[in-house]
């Protein structure tokens, strides 16, 4: 038996292959698909993501989803290579606060009356601090349990999938990486950098739901000696 998202995907695939949409046409909105199939946002997002991964649809931030003009293309995969794949890793939640900083509200495309939850986590490899994460999570997807038990969000994506049925590992995202030098003092302290001459990788990422609605914005800082990216065509 097919899952709900597979049923939605198959119907949409039929429409695309049957010529109901032309290349470059704007595709259905999330609201239209939810109403048409009487399913949840998570189901719609999963179906659309499958079609995006097949190269049949493309997303344009702030505009929506469109039928691909180039149905076939070369895909690439990015690999964040670790210094030691067999290392003993731990994640510690340092703090969780409700905030409404205008800079972050802008990154999340939220109005000034809104707020979000700021989750700070430190990842260690064999007891060495490797990466500092600042996750800004839209309030409606935050579980209040974490205010009493911060460790609840040691794995944020797993908890969001558990609580909301949304798989942030496969939802659309954009990410930029740069090098910071010198490192901010707080980052230098938490990552235990011994020298002023050590740069760090600074990574910014937005994760989106369907129709380009942001669910999280992340700023993370990673030690230069643990940072390596590999790109492969598939």
pLDDT tens figures, 12-23: 888 887 778 888
pLDDT tens digits, 83-100: 666 678 999 999 999 999
Residue with tokens 């129709």, as numbered in its chain = 211
pLDDT tens digits, 24-83: 899 998 889 998 888 888 888 888 888 888 888 888 877 889 888 765 445 455 666 666
Question: Measured between alpha carbons, how far is residue 113 from residues 16, 108, 109, 214 in Å?
Answer: 41, 13, 12, 16
Q: Which CATH superfamily is domain 79-233 in?
A: Chorismate lyase-like (3.40.1410.10)
Tell me, which fold does domain 4-73 have in CATH?
Arc Repressor Mutant, subunit A (1.10.10)
Cα distance from N-terminal residue to C-terminal residue, the chain: 30
Cβ atoms of 129 and 135 within 8 Å: the answer is no
Is the pLDDT reported for residue 6 higher than 60? Answer: yes
The domain segmentation of the chain, as residue ranges, is 4-73, 79-233
Give the CB-side neighbour count of residue 13, counting CA atoms within 13 A: 14
């Amino acid at each position: 038996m097919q899952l709900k998202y597979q049923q939605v995907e198959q119907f949409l695939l039929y429409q695309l292959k049957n010529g109901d949409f032309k290349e470059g046409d704007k595709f259905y909105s999330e609201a239209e698909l939810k109403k048409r199939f009487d399913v949840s946002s998570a189901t719609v997002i999963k179906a659309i993501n499958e079609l995006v991964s097949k190269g049949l649809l493309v997303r344009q931030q702030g505009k929506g989803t469109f039928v691909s003009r180039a149905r076939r293309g070369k895909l690439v995969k990015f690999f964040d290579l670790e210094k030691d794949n067999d290392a003993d890793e731990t994640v510690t939640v340092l703090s969780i606060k409700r905030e409404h900083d205008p800079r972050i509200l802008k990154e999340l495309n939220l109005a000034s009356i809104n707020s979000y939850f700021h989750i700070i986590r430190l990842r260690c490899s064999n007891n060495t601090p490797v990466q500092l994460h600042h996750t800004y999570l839209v309030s409606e997807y935050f579980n209040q349990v974490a205010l009493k038990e911060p460790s609840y969000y040691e794995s944020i994506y797993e908890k969001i999938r558990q609580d909301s049925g949304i798989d942030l590992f496969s939802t659309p995202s954009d990410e930029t990486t740069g090098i910071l030098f010198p490192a901010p003092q707080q980052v230098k302290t938490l990552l235990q950098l011994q020298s002023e001459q050590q740069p760090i990788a600074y990574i910014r990422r937005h994760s989106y739901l369907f129709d380009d609605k942001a669910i999280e914005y992340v700023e993370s800082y990673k030690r230069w000696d643990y940072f390596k990216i590999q790109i492969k065509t598939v």
